[in-house]
Amino acid sequence: MSKLTRRALAVAFAGIAGAARAQAPRRITDLLGREVSLPGPARRLVLGQGRHVLALALLHPDPVSLLVGWSGDLRQMNPPDYAPVRARFPAADAVPLVGRNTLDTLSVEAILTARPDAVVLSRGGASGGDAGALADRLGSYGIPTLVIDFFADPLRDALRSMAILGALIGAEDRAREFASFHTEHLAQVDAGLAGVAARPRIFIHAHAGGTPCCASPGRGVFDSFVQRAGGINLGAEVLPGLAGTVSLEQVLSRSPDVYVATAGPFATRGGIAMGSGVSPQAARDGLRTVLQREHLVGLPAVAAGRAHAMWHGFNDTPAHVVAVEALARALHPERFATLDPAATVAELNRRFLSIPMQGTYWVDLASG
C-alpha cells in the first residue's frame, strides 16, 4: 500500500470517526455546573434569548432550522438585528414565540408544547427570573436545559458557552475553531498593550439618544471589553451594578478621554442607526445629531475627535472580539493604528457566520 493510499484511508477513517462522535450520546455541564445528558445532538431547540441565534450562526449553516421556539427579544423588540436573520432564513417568522424578553415571561406550557430536545437559557442576558430555577423546573419535565451567557461577564464565559452550544448540536470541532479565532484576536490586543502606562477613561453611552441621558454599563457587559482594550470605564466608577444611569453633569465633570455611543435597537426612537444595512455616513450623521441633542458636544473628547459609535449588539454575542479591537484602537490610536476591526468582521463572515454581519458596526466621528 502506497503512502498516498494510507494517507487517504487515514483521512477517511478520521472523518467516519468524527461523524460517529458527532452523533454519539453527550453529557454536558453548563455554566451553573448543572450536568445534562442527551442521547445525541439536539435537533429541536428552544432559545430563552432569541438573539442567541446569532451565536448559533457561528456554529451551524442554518441555525433557524434547529429552532422550535424562542423568546421574542430579537423578533419583536429589535427589528434592526432581526432583519438579517429573516432575510437569510425567512422561516424565522414561523418559529413560535415562547416568551417576550425576560425569564419570567417564558411559558413552560409553550415550551412543553414545542417538544424540544433541549432548552438554552441565558444567565445574565435577561432579568426577571432565576435561570437555574427555571432550568431545574424544565428538567423535572424531562427537558434537558442548559444555561449559557455572553452578557454579564462575556470575556470569561463566552468560550465556555460556545463549547456548550457546540456539544449540544454536535459542532464541537466548529466551536474549537472559533475558540482559536477568538483567543488569537484577543492575544493581538494584549500584545499591543504590553507596557502601556496610562489607561484612558472612556464613557460608554448605552442606547444613546434612544433613552434618557445617560444610560451606561457599570461593572458588566461592555466594562470587560473596556478593560481588555486598555481603558477605564467611567460607568463602573459610579454605578454599583451591571448597568444604570450616569447624569449628564457627572459625564461632563469627569470629562472622559473617549466617548462611545452604542447604537442600533433604539434607532427609531431617536437613537443612532447601526448594524445590518446601515451605511457609515448614516451612522456618523446619527452620532452627530445625538451629541448635539444630548448636550454632549462640549466634551473635550468630542472636540478632539475622540467620539465614536458602536453596535449595541456586541453586548450578547461572542463576535464581541470586534468591539474589543475597535475600543483598543479608540483608546490607544498610537498603538493600534493598523488594527482593522472591519477585517475581523470580514473574517468572521468568511469563516464562521451563516448570518453574516453586513453593514456598519463602528464609526469614528472624525472620519468623513
Q: Is residue 187 part of a domain?
A: no
**Same domain for 138 and 218?**
no
User: Are residues 224 and 110 both part of a single domain?
Assistant: no
Q: In what helix (H) or strand (E) does residue 187 lie, and over which residues does it extend?
A: helix 172-192
Instruction: Identify the domain containing residue 244 by its residue range.
Output: 195-364
Bond preceding residue 214 cis, omega within 30 of 0:
yes
Clarify whether residues 258 and 299 are in a common domain. Answer: yes
Q: Are residues 62 and 142 in the same domain?
A: yes
* CA triple 309-314-319, angle to 5 deg: 125
- The answer to whether residue 190 is domain-embedded is no
In a domain, 118, yes or no: yes
Q: What are phi and psi of 364, to 5 degrees?
A: -105, 135
Asked if residue 117 is part of any domain, the answer here is: yes
- DSSP letters, 51-89, are GGHHHHTTT-S-GGGGEEEEETTTTTT-HHHHHHHHHH-
Q: In this structure, is residue 185 part of a structural domain?
A: no
My answer on whether 18 and 166 are in the same domain is: yes
pLDDT in tens, 187-211: 999 999 999 999 999 999 999 999 9
Q: 140 and 240 share a domain?
A: no
Residue 10 in this model has a pLDDT that exceeds 50? no
Q: Where are the beta strands (DSSP E) in 123-200?
A: 145-148
Does residue 272 lie within any of the structural domains? Answer: yes
CA–CA distances in Å: residue 241 to residues 199, 238, 323: 22, 9, 21
Residue-level length of the chain: 368
Of the listed ranges 117-131, 136-150, 152-166, 256-270, the least confidently predicted one is 117-131
Q: Are 184 and 358 in contact (CB under 8 A)?
A: no
pLDDT top residue among 221 and 143: 143
184 in a structural domain? no
Say if residue 300 is in the same domain as residue 202: yes
Residues 272 and 228 in one domain: yes
Tens digits of residue pLDDT in 216-237? 999 978 999 999 999 999 999 9
Q: Is residue 180 part of a domain?
A: no
- Which CATH number is 122's domain given? 3.40.50.1980
Least confident of 20-24, 63-67, 238-242: 20-24
Cell output for 259: 466617548
253, 330: one domain? yes
CB burial string 147-179: b at 16+ within 10 A, e below: bbbbbbbbbebbbebbbbbbbbbbbbebbebbb
Single pTM value for the model: 0.91
Q: What percent of the chain has pLDDT over 70?
A: 92
The count of structural domains within the chain is 2
Whether 24 shows a pLDDT value over 90: the answer reads no
- Residue among 361, 358, 364, 355 at smallest CA distance from 51: 355
- pLDDT tens for 305-332 read 999 999 999 999 999 999 999 999 999 9
Is the per-residue pLDDT at 21 higher than 70? no
Residues 145 and 238 reside in one and the same domain: no
Q: Is residue 138 domain-shared with residue 220, that is, in the same domain?
A: no
Q: Report residue 9's pLDDT band, with 50, 70 and 90 as the boundaries.
A: very low
Q: What is the pLDDT of residue 22?
A: 61
Quote the longest CA-to-CA distance of the chain.
79
- Same-domain check for residues 32 and 96: yes
